[in-house]
Amino acid sequence: MKILLIEDELLIQRSLKKLMELKGATVDTTSQGKEGIELIRSNHYDRIITDLMLTDITGFDIIEEVKTQFGDNELPQKFRVITAYSSSKIVENLSKYNIKVINKPFEDLNATIELLMDLNE
Amino acid sequence: MENSTTGAFSEQRSSLNSKYFSSFIHELNPTKDFKSKKPKFKQKSNHLASLNSKLGDLASKNINLDQFSQSLLTLKEIQGHKVIHLYMHEKGLQHAQHYQITSDEVKTSSENVSLFLKFYQSIKKSKNRSFGQSSLKGFPYNIIGTFMAREFTLKSHNLIFIVSREDFLDYTDNDIDFFNSLCSVLPLYFNRYLINQAYLSEGFFNEALKSIIQNELHSFPSFLQEEQMQINHQQRLHLLGELLNTLQHEISNPLFGLQLSTKTFAHQDLSTEDLETIDLIGQSISRAQKILKNFSFLYKDTQKVTTIQFEKLFQEVLILAKSEVRGIEINLEIDPNVTSIQFESNPTWIAQILFNLVINAAQALKEHEAHKRQITIKLDINNKHISVSVLDSGLGIKTEDESNIFQNFFTTKDKGTGLGLALSKKLANKLGGDLSYSNRSDSPHAFILELKR
């Protein structure tokens, strides 16, 4: 499984990359949203995991920018959002796209990794 | 770097501004992308440094964002621009705020966010940032002549920044260069203002209110006093809640990063001792996360009613009171019948009341240097009530004070506000219960929170 991880907290980025690699994934990472968009445009990823509050743009901006690249059905399948800001507003906004949200800090690390990589499906 | 700068305004730079400058360089060029930006940055650094130093000066003199923006118009570098528009949207809100700023006035108004978003997007897509009068058709505010605009994604807001000379001359490359330099520095200041703004205004208001309450309110009619007290309490809770929220957001992410990284070592070939150390690091981080979470919960402004898990709630309160109850023996006595019933209430308010009672008890024990230091939280149930009692091994309340302890502003502590117990009783009443003090000869003295079943 080829995964793109967009996360600007470097320790989270590195650790998550490593933990997913241990489960057999290939993981590209970036901490910049704009670079993330470029990577999505020029590569094929099975899964894109993005934080919401990045330093340059938001995860919403990324989804908006690239959503035409994917079909309506494919979008929720491609994306997973991880966020520390889980206001009802954000959940509501994301439910428009039907994208799964995972709150940071993760309550159950293994279950989260499995959810991020669809291992239990 | 400080002395070799030859920009037009370098001689005016103070050491304070050099500090601004270095932090600015750091923010503009974090190490991760330093490489790609370096050549461009080097060419412009002198120019930017002097501009940034000027902005630092202005920022130190102006309290508000609109004042700061107004003072931008006095800069020589602003090259004759007469009007600044700030059009901004605080993330999550339904409306956007607009400021039209000239050297002698600031006009504000607010609009639905949808218009804002439309122009935010069109400005974002524009390449050269220079606009003719007709190019932002439908823009709700009157801009005369050509103008330059830039959109910013700030921490708490999205913002559109527009400057206009109110003439119809096209912008030169030079103008656009200047504007781009300005725009590379401005977000730093906008962020500072917008993040500080909420806290500052609330903080000032809160302090003012507090001094009124403490010094003058005794002569007010009691219903007014009551109302002011409630407002003050709400303000304090709100302010603390906001502060903790920010702290939680800013600290919990790095903490989570640390916690996650400890999990990556489990798969490595390390000695048992090292693995244990890493495990301990993880536990410490979990503890810090928990405290942060519980404190945010304690000061959450909420009316939410849920099923109360008393024992868990007690543990959370005790974690929060940890520094006060250090060296004090804590006992929990829980009637097993309570755990089997479903009781719904507002857990935040119950926690606030208990937190207050436990802190009071701990302070009393320390103040009187009690020989035996013990606090007991007791949970009982009968047909009508669930009651939570906080007992301590201290001397109890003096008989002559007993009738006053729930009065506003009554305190026996040097630095007490006299509001803790009064507000706790109010909260208990709001929960449909009551808070009382019991000092019967046949049982130890206790504060008792009674909640109707």
In the numeric block, which tokens belong to residue B193?
């203002």
Across B1-10, B84-93, B183-192, least confident range:
B1-10
Angstrom distances, CA of residue B212 to CA of B202, B205, B444: 15, 11, 38
Determine the Cα–Cα distance for residues A36 and A30; give it in Å rounded to an integer: 6
Decide: helix, strand or coil at residue B150: strand
For residue B403, the surrounding DSSP H or E stretch is none
Q: Which residue of B has its CA nearest to A92?
A: B92
pTM: 0.47
Cβ partners under 8 Å of residue A8, min gap 6: A31, A32, A51, A54, A55
Determine the Cα–Cα distance for residues B76 and B9; give it in Å rounded to an integer: 10
The pLDDT of residue B259 is: 92
The DSSP code sequence of B19-50 is HHHHHHHHHHS-GGGHHHHHHHHHHHHHHHHH
Q: Which residue of A has its CA nearest to B94?
A: A89
- Kindly report, residue by residue over B74-108, the tens digit of the pLDDT: 887 777 888 998 998 887 778 888 889 988 888 88
What is the mean pLDDT of the segment spanning B116-137?
Answer: 78
Are B51 and B72 a contacting pair, CB within 8 Å? no
What is the mean pLDDT of the segment spanning B268-285?
Answer: 89
Selecting from B259, B261, B267 the residue whose C-beta is nearest the C-beta of A105 gives: B259
Contacts of A109 in chain B (CB under 8 A): 260, 263
Q: Backbone phi, then psi, for A103, in 5-degree steps?
A: -80, 140
- Kindly report, residue by residue over B292-310, the tens digit of the pLDDT: 777 777 766 667 788 888 9
A26, amino acid identity: T
Q: Which residue of B has its CA nearest to A83?
A: B253
The pLDDT of residue B25 is: 36
User: Looking at the predicted structure, is the pLDDT value of residue A106 above 50?
Assistant: yes
User: Looking at the predicted structure, is the pLDDT value of residue B33 above 60?
Assistant: no
The pLDDT of residue B128 is: 67
**Higher-confidence position of B445 and B129:** B445
Selecting from A11, A22, A32 the residue whose C-beta is nearest the C-beta of B260 gives: A11
Determine the Cα–Cα distance for residues B400 and B300; give it in Å rounded to an integer: 36
Selecting from A14, A22, A31 the residue whose C-beta is nearest the C-beta of B261 gives: A14
- Round to the nearest angstrom and report the end-to-end CA distance of chain B: 71
Alpha helices in B216-270 (DSSP H): 222-263
Determine the Cα–Cα distance for residues B50 and B9; give it in Å rounded to an integer: 6
